[in-house]
Amino acid sequence: MKTFAVYTANLNSSSVTCIDTTTDKVIANIPVGSNPYDVVATHDGRYVFSLNSGDGTLSMINTTTNTVVSTITVGQFPMSGVISQDDLFLYVACRDSEYIAVVNISTQTLVTTIPLNFKPVRMAITPDGKYIFVQCINAFNVPVIDTETLSIIKRITLPTSLTYTPTDLLMSKDGKYVYFVSYQRPFIGMISVETLELLTPYITFTSGVFNPTSICTSQDGKYVFVAGLSRTTGMIMQLSTAPPLRIIKTKFLFAVPYKYETTPDSKKLITLNPTSGSITIFDINNLDSNKTVYLGGSLTDIEIRPESKIAYVTNQSLNIAIRVDLEHANPVSALPTGNYPISLHGTLIEVPTPSSLLLCRALKAETNDIELTKNASINITITPTLDQSPEAIIYGNITAPDNNPIVSASVKVLTTDGYTIYHDITDSKGFFTGRLPAGKYTLIVVSPDYNLSYVGDFILEGGEQKNLSLLLNDNMVSKLGVIFGEALGSTLEGIVNGGANLYRNEDGTDRLYVHSFTSINGRYRIAYIPQGIYTLRIAANGYLPQDSLVVIDKDYMVISSTNKLSKDPTNPQGKISGTVMYNGVPVDKCLVEIYRREGDMKYVVAIAETKSDGYFEFGSLPAGTYFIETFKLIPQN
């Protein structure tokens, strides 16, 4: 499945941290080269590159495995990078080598270097990939690289009366203009991609009146904003998106913005205010409508999820990435990164689908009665059917009596047959979600300390999105009874794969309520038993079944039972074997239960699991009437 992940470059720990923003979990801490300064990703999300300023290398990370597959030496202090739209080439600004390094991504090799004679810090590539514009320290021009010839075709002259400390470079969404921003000797310029000329007028300021720090554009291309420092406070300016370059409006901000980002839906503008440890969320159409969220520490970078509701902000002093709910302007959680997370980049990557997000359908069958005569052998083929009930969704938040979310609570859904069809734990917000076929189910929720729990039935209709949020204030599961037992042979050996059948007396008739199986050492467990009178029958191949009375008449009741079974003196040699096939293919690891029917009573005698060829076998069976049930959960994408 695809998930949106963010990768943080951790400057002082020579590592990159990968966070799955769907589950809000760190899924990898990846060792890379020395002092990673930035990360860039291919457009298809297959690779992320760590630009390692300390040793002049790139660490090429496979995002499926989150491992470094190649280390490429490029030059001194690789500071930023851009990737061609076809994901064939990576262009790296090597500041202290004063050149652009060109890397072939498929061969993982350095192709060439393009000398600049100035220190490059940022680049902007045209949407068609034809030109790369380079921003350099203290240069009086903007080099333009032709990506076909890998040469500089022009150096666009800047006003020579200025000494530039470039802070940002931006390509317009339509690819027609490049914005150049400088902090010292403050300057904002617009370059025509068509003519490769600096357009006039350009904008200059007296230092202190306004010193621009960054520039960004909305995803729809309708807005361009520049942020900066105005004397002792911050300022936002909205610029024109077409010539002539002009300031449309300004907005003072009582914080110093360092970096900007707009949401993918082009509705919000977010400023990163590192000195005050805050972000400010603006309505992009009305800058007077805004809210500042204090996050603490020193903030370095921001990335926004594609649906525009969640942002991640790196905090270098606390070594964390903070998840922020942009709709409600609240920090939600904090995840650990490496030391000094200086930048981050988001991309869609391929990850294994979490079991909670898989739709599992039951592949099951129940045979007709099988009449087994004394010492006979019967072979059958079972063809189960796949549950095709329409899909539905469950979700909810699990909270404690104080209304705080319960993290890592166990959420389990059982079928009416007692099989677990869904199991997950709640996230940092107490949230869970899952996909299920329509049907009748039992929901069981248990807090991680086992002090609070819930059990209850629900019905799920096709296409329904059912909210199963719960406020846990009781321990319903613990109040229900539980039976722990073991089935032993004549020499006290544990009997494996036998049946533990619990009958409930209803209107004078014992009806099978639930069943379990004996595992290693012959042990079994039957849980979630309400108060009542029951009969427990333990059965196994080659043994006589044993019945015992069980009375659950109190809350929190735990019953321990030891069942010593006697060998069947008739030494039965009957056998029922067969193969489970679905669509002509053997079904392996399928649960197979064999029941014996005696009048109105039925009980599980034994269980088995099919082999790779779908084969199963039950031996030591006395003559009688039997039937078989099979069950396997099949994950669907």
pLDDT digits (tens, 9 = 90+) for 124-149: 999 999 999 999 998 889 999 999 99
Q: Last residue of a domain, which of 564, 595, 627? A: 564
Whether the CB-CB separation of 224 and 238 falls below 8 Å is answered with yes
Q: What's the token pair of residue 12? A: 């002082």
The pairing of strands 615-621 and 359-366 is unpaired
Q: Report the pLDDT value the prediction gives residue 637, as an integer from 0 to 100.
A: 66
Backbone dihedral angles phi then psi of residue 212, each to the nearest 5 degrees: -70, 140
Cβ count within 10 A of residue 593: 20
Same domain assignment for residues 484 and 538: yes
Asked if residue 528 is part of any domain, the answer here is yes
Asked if residue 111 is part of any domain, the answer here is no
Same domain assignment for residues 499 and 458: no
CA distances from 382 to 389, 624, 631 (A): 21, 20, 11
Share of the chain above pLDDT 70, in %: 99
Asked if residue 603 is part of any domain, the answer here is yes
State the Cα–Cα distance between residues 266 and 536, nearest whole angstrom.
64
Same domain assignment for residues 582 and 546: no
Same domain assignment for residues 465 and 422: yes
Which residue segment(s) compose the domain that 449 sits in? Answer: 389-473
Backbone dihedral angles phi then psi of residue 351, each to the nearest 5 degrees: -135, 155
Cβ count within 10 A of residue 455: 18
Report residue 384's pLDDT band, with 50, 70 and 90 as the boundaries: very high
Quote the mean pLDDT of the chain. 94
Q: How many domains does the chain have?
A: 3
Same domain assignment for residues 574 and 628: yes
Asked if residue 493 is part of any domain, the answer here is yes
Closest of 315, 498, 347, 505 to residue 18, by C-alpha: 347
Q: Report the pLDDT value the prediction gives residue 185, as an integer from 0 to 100.
A: 85
Report residue 2's pLDDT band, with 50, 70 and 90 as the boundaries: confident
pLDDT beyond 90 at 175: yes
Report residue 207's pLDDT band, with 50, 70 and 90 as the boundaries: confident
pLDDT beyond 90 at 506: no
pLDDT beyond 70 at 162: no
State the Cα–Cα distance between residues 526 and 353, nearest whole angstrom.
31
Same domain assignment for residues 607 and 554: no
Report residue 500's pLDDT band, with 50, 70 and 90 as the boundaries: very high
Q: Give pLDDT tens digits for 405-440.
A: 998 899 999 998 888 999 988 887 899 999 999 999
CATH for 449: 2.60.40.10
Asked if residue 429 is part of any domain, the answer here is yes
Same domain assignment for residues 589 and 621: yes
Asked if residue 249 is part of any domain, the answer here is no
Closest of 424, 406, 348, 435 to residue 5, by C-alpha: 348
Same domain assignment for residues 501 and 463: no
Q: Report the pLDDT value the prediction gives residue 231, as an integer from 0 to 100.
A: 83
Q: Report the pLDDT value the prediction gives residue 355, as an integer from 0 to 100.
A: 67
Q: Last residue of a domain, which of 443, 473, 503? A: 473
Quick one: residue 285, left, alpha or beta (phi over 0 = left, psi -120 to 50 = alpha)? alpha
Structure-model confidence comparison of residues 618 and 328, the more confident one: 618
Q: Give pLDDT tens digits for 262-293.
A: 999 999 999 999 889 999 999 999 999 999 99
Same domain assignment for residues 554 and 574: no
Asked if residue 560 is part of any domain, the answer here is yes
Same domain assignment for residues 463 and 489: no
Asked if residue 140 is part of any domain, the answer here is no
Burial of 241 by CB count in 10 Å (0-12 exposed, 13-18 middle, 19+ buried)?
buried
Same domain assignment for residues 560 and 592: no
pLDDT beyond 70 at 187: yes
CA distances from 62 to 50, 108, 174 (A): 11, 12, 31
Q: Last residue of a domain, which of 432, 451, 473? A: 473
Q: Report the pLDDT value the prediction gives residue 524, as an integer from 0 to 100.
A: 96
